[in-house]
């Protein structure tokens, strides 16, 4: 079954407190050399049938309306991964 | 500046209520043909200097201890993206 992976990240101009917290915690735990961290979301959608251009366009709309908040987040990528079957 | 992207997903045997909620909402909003959804996290880490094998091993440890909860989550991938500079 093919899988579509949707990547959602906070917009660059939006503060990302979770990412900032992680960035602050890293050196405290001994991990140096990271200048900034941003945290986003990742959705794995199992698609029934083939991923045609129409299906992908449909999913892109779902990604921008349901999976992300377009006020503060960008859908940075939609990757299609073919299933193993 | 190179960037390391860490992908974290709930383990397959762990219930994913957020993913289930999304999967239930999709057909209600007119998006059909998705059999299941799982929601994970995505971290973008800006690395100072080069991403050597040692840095990557270090980041992998950070990913499994700080960025994910190893009881319920897997680090599914660590991708290195070279910066534009």
CB contact under 8 A, B49 and A33: yes
**What is the rounded distance in angstroms from the CA atom of residue A25 to the CA atom of residue A38?**
13
**What is the rounded distance in angstroms from the CA atom of residue B15 to the CA atom of residue A34?**
32
A34, closest residue in chain B (CA to CA): B47
Shortest CA gap A4–chain B (Å): 10
Q: What is the pLDDT of residue A84?
A: 55
- Chain B residues close to A41, C-beta within 8 Å: 39-42
Q: How much is the average pLDDT of B51-70?
A: 94
Structural domain including B57 reads 3-81
Average pLDDT over chain A, rounded to an integer: 93
Contact assessment for residue A39 and residue A19, using Cβ atoms and an 8 Å cutoff: yes
Report percent pLDDT > 70 for chain A. Answer: 96
DSSP letter at B84 equals -
Count Cβ atoms below 10 Å from residue B17 Cβ, excluding itself.
Answer: 9
Task: Tokens for B59, please give them.
Answer: 């980041």
Whether the per-residue pLDDT at B78 is higher than 80: the answer is yes
**What is the rounded distance in angstroms from the CA atom of residue B18 to the CA atom of residue B38?**
7
- Chain A residues close to B19, C-beta within 8 Å: 43-44
Q: What is the pLDDT of residue B59?
A: 94
Please choose, from the candidates B79, B82, B69, the residue with its C-alpha nearest in 3D space to the C-alpha of residue B9. Answer: B69
Strands of A34-47's sheet in order across? A73-81, A3-10, A34-47, B34-47, B3-10, B73-81
Q: What is the pLDDT of residue B1?
A: 86
The string of DSSP letters for B16-71 reads: -HHHHHHHHHHHHTT---EEEEEEEEEEEEEESS---HHHHHHHHHHIIIIIS-TT
Q: What is the pLDDT of residue A68?
A: 96
B19, closest residue in chain A (CA to CA): A43
Q: What is the CATH number of the domain that holds A38?
A: 3.30.1280.10
Count Cβ atoms below 10 Å from residue A53 Cβ, excluding itself.
Answer: 7
User: What confidence tens digit (pLDDT) does each residue in B9-58 have?
Assistant: 999 999 999 999 999 999 998 999 999 999 999 999 999 999 999 999 99
DSSP letter at B1 equals -
Whether the per-residue pLDDT at A70 is higher than 70: the answer is yes
The H-or-E segment that residue A53 falls in is helix A53-62
Whether the per-residue pLDDT at A83 is higher than 80: the answer is no
Residue given tokens 């045609």 in the structure block: A52
User: What confidence tens digit (pLDDT) does each residue in A28-47 have?
Assistant: 989 999 999 999 999 999 99
Number of domains in chain A: 1
Whether the per-residue pLDDT at A27 is higher than 60: the answer is yes
ipTM of this complex: 0.90
Whether the per-residue pLDDT at B84 is higher than 70: the answer is no
DSSP letter at A1 equals -
């Amino acid at each position: 079954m093919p899988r579509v992976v949707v990547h959602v990240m906070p917009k660059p101009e939006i503060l990302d407190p979770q990412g900032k917290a992680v960035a602050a915690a890293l050196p405290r735990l001994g991990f140096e050399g990271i200048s900034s961290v941003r945290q986003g979301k990742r959705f794995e959608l199992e698609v029934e049938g083939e991923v045609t251009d129409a299906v992908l366009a449909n999913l892109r709309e779902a990604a921008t309306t349901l999976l992300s908040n377009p006020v503060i987040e960008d859908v940075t990528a939609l990757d299609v991964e073919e299933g193993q079957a």
